[in-house]
Structure 1
Amino acid sequence: MTPALSVLDLVPVRSDQSTGDALAASRRLAQVADEVGFTRYWVAEHHNMPGVAATNPPVLIAMLAAATSRIRVGSGGVMLPNHAPYVVAEQFALLEAAHPGRIDLGIGRAPGTDPLTRYVLRGGAGGAEEDPVARFPEYVDEVGLLLEPDGVDAQLGARRHGLKATPAARTVPDVWLLGSSDYSARLAADRGLPYVFAHHFAGKGTAEALALYRESYQPSEAHPEPRTFLTVNAVVAPTYAEAERRALPNQQSMLALMHGAPLFPQRLVEDAELIGVPPEQERLAAAMLRRWVVGDPQGAAAQVRELAATYGVDEVMVHPVAGALKGTPRDAAPAREETLRLLATALTGAQSA
């Protein structure tokens, strides 16, 4: 079986880039994914991180959907506890109206940021007496209802009012639940929603979460059958040695994050090689690499097929994390683009222009 391919993008900011450069590079990456036949292109939500420009998925989705023609564009995901459900419904109803049939709303429960930024995002709300994370299932239901073309009737005082996310919807975006534990798997199964496990982030518990989701799935009108895929970090290059080399900057970022440091701007490959990996972290770095798709085109394609077969999915979403060499144009990420092109060609025989 040849699984469909999709892309997850955190819009990383390299040490040589401005935010504008990183956005331009992601726009070009989305166009490559569109060109070589990827199914969807999702952007994450992270805040107040020096090395990540994906702070506002709806704004990014509008930019990327306008720059592409075929590929589905969505959030991987909107961290719902950070936002009022009605605002999220409004944003994605407009995106769907502008690009009908091409918008995905992936919803996550984690804040995706530090406690201070989370507090500011909620306008000071969300104390112990009003925990937005605890209300996540309620918020998921609200977003789903508000996206429906007929909207909802809401009681305010003695009067009832109609509430719609947009005046005249003809279609609605696909809603997905995201997770890296069994919590969202259970909720997605209970609500009859598609589900994605963050294999690229968690690395463990994938099989258990997907099995739980499938076994406890409650069919819904929109989704009579369970629907799922997984995400994985990927670096593909002409040779394994070059792929391993290009993986080093992101390895260093992940190791730092695991030891409590912020997600700093990604080093260029040559700068990362000068620093290397501390001896005490080498085993952890090697284990990390084994969970990723890293290799030459044929080797990487075999890894993707094995992942799909192991977890019983017909789609794999790759997070292209290849580092850039010195001299790379600041507004481009050619190593990330090459990961997509080589993998698409090896898996499906797609030819790039």
Structure 2
Amino acid sequence: MSQIRLLKEPGYIYDLLFIFYLRFNKQYYINMLENSGKQADVKFFNDILEKFSDIPDDLYVFFHAIENGRCFFATQYFNPYKEQFTTTYNFKLIQKELTDSDQLLRALIRFYFYEISDEKIDACMNSTLELFSLIKTSHYSTEVKSKLYEFFIHPEPYVRTLHFELIAKEFMLSQYYEKNYQKILDVYNQTTFEILSKKLKGLDDLKFIKKNNQESLYVSYCLINKFSLNFFGVREGVVYLLGYDYLSILDFVKNKTDLSLLDFGNALCEESRVKILELLLEREEVTCKDLEKIFSFSGSTAYHHITMLTRIGLVKTRNEGKTILYGLNRKYFSAIIGVLSRYSER
């Protein structure tokens, strides 16, 4: 029988970041709950916000969600560390990384303006006029532009506030985990490889894990983001990031039929993403490095485009050793044809 190994830190840190994410994107998340039939759980998240209250507006630029629900902090300080989820990833590591203020500011510029060159970032780091011109001509709303102006005029106080609030909320979260960790243990003790494989059938295929390495499946549970359902390919296999109540939302995720034409349109409105789909039609599978080379993308631009296509469902992933391969998700296109057929002649 394949063994599932329990990790605390990835889920714990994900919960910490989610507290801040929820503070600045409450309506976005509540809309997701309502769409999935979880309206009754809105109170749970309101209670969480009340318990971890007093998060200042100064942290807006770090946790505000831009297109596709992404926020800077998770994009910069969670997702890129997936290879360390099974070893050294913890709160102290994040604190250490945040001491590099120059890296933080450059990453913020890259996040909000992902298509600009490294040379342009250098210019923005050396000149607020250059940066403010970039903000002014961007597609962002007046509110986002205003927050970016305020932050980059004098970023040091905002960064200090970030450090302080993370420490304060991490302490509160540690106490919350002490009182409620049994919920995680209960779910973990009732889960086997076979059960997880059956429950997640249609979302991901776990057979390759059993075939190649019996100890390469890791699970990390969340107490705050209790509906979390994510997975990360790592060198050892896969790390599943699951909310302790993920089973209650699983059927909605697996059987979702209300494919969003808006998401589909957003994916195809960028010529580069259409070219990526054409390439996948021709080559079957590609890596992020392939996209950089073929289309002369920067690393962050390639990652942004392929991540957007993957998140919406047009593209699926497969791990081959340390390499992530991307291919067309033909089931998605079959489903979207059904949605579009409503607008055709009867």
TM-score under structure 2 normalisation?
0.25
